[in-house]
C-alpha cells in the first residue's frame, strides 16, 4: 500500500481545524462546496460528521465529485435507530449541551446541531445510490458504555450493550461505520 501524496484536513470551524486536524494541509470549508478539483482524492474520511449534514444528498454528491472513480468514502457516525440517538432526541438542546459536558467533557462550542438524515442503513442506501456511491461495507457496531457517571443507569446500559451482540437487535447498535465506493461511469451507465 502506498503512502498518500497529500493528506488534507477539512473543517467548517477554524478553531476545530487547528485543534483537531493533524495534517500539514488544513482547509476551512464545508461538505456542500468542497474547494478541491474533481477527482482530487482517492479517499475521504469523516468521523462523527454525517449526523451534522443538513442536506446529505447534495453533500454526498460533492464528496463523490472530489473522489476519483473507485475512490472510497469511509465514515463513522451515530446510527439513528440506535438507542443513544433515540434517547438524545428526547433531550432538549440546552440539556444536551450540559450532558455533553458531564459525560464527555465537551464544551458548549464543541456541540453542534444534529440532523440524522443519512444515519440508518436504509437512508444511507438511498443517499449513496442517488449520489454516485455503492455501499461496499456497512457495519452497525456496539459502543462502550457512556453512562458510567450515572451509576443507576450504568448497569442497565452494560446489559443492553451485551444484548446488542445479538443479530436480532443489531439495528439498535449505536454506531454505523460505512465504506462507500465511488461508482465508475461504466458501473452507472445502462
Domain boundaries, the chain: 31-183
pLDDT, mean of residues 104-125: 89
pLDDT of 37 over the 90 cut? yes
Beta strands across the sheet bearing 133-141: 41-47, 67-78, 175-182, 133-141
Residue 187 clears pLDDT 60, i.e. is over it = no
pLDDT value at 166 more than 90: yes
Q: What is the mean pLDDT of residues 113-134?
A: 95
C-alpha cell at 110: 464543541
**Domain 31-183 superfamily per CATH:** Vaccinia Virus protein VP39 (3.40.50.150)
pTM: 0.87
Which of the four pLDDT bands, split at 50, 70 and 90, describes residue 4?
A: low
- According to the model, what pLDDT value does residue 7 have? 83
Q: Is the pLDDT of residue 190 over 60?
A: no
Are residues 78 and 143 in contact, defined by beta-carbon separation less than 8 angstroms? no
Amino acid at each position: 500500500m502506498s503512502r498518500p501524496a497529500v493528506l488534507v484536513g477539512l473543517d467548517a470551524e477554524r478553531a476545530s481545524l487547528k485543534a483537531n486536524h493533524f495534517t500539514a494541509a488544513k482547509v476551512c470549508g464545508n461538505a456542500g462546496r468542497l474547494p478541491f478539483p474533481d477527482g482530487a482524492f482517492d479517499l475521504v474520511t469523516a468521523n462523527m460528521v454525517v449526523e451534522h449534514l443538513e442536506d446529505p444528498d447534495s453533500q454526498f454528491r460533492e464528496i463523490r465529485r472530489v473522489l476519483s472513480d473507485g475512490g472510497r468514502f469511509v465514515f463513522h457516525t451515530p446510527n439513528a435507530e440506535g438507542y443513544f440517538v433515540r434517547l438524545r432526541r428526547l433531550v432538549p438542546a440546552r440539556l444536551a449541551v450540559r450532558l455533553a459536558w458531564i459525560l464527555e467533557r465537551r464544551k458548549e462550542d464543541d456541540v453542534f446541531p444534529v440532523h440524522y438524515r443519512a444515519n440508518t442503513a436504509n437512508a444511507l442506501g438511498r443517499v449513496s445510490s442517488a449520489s454516485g456511491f455503492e455501499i461496499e461495507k456497512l457495519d452497525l457496531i456496539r459502543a462502550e458504555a457512556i453512562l458510567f457517571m450515572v451509576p443507576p443507569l450504568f448497569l442497565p446500559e452494560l446489559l443492553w450493550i451485551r444484548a446488542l451482540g445479538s443479530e436480532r437487535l443489531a439495528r439498535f447498535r449505536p454506531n454505523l461505520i460505512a465504506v462507500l465506493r465511488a461508482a465508475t461511469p461504466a458501473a452507472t451507465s445502462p
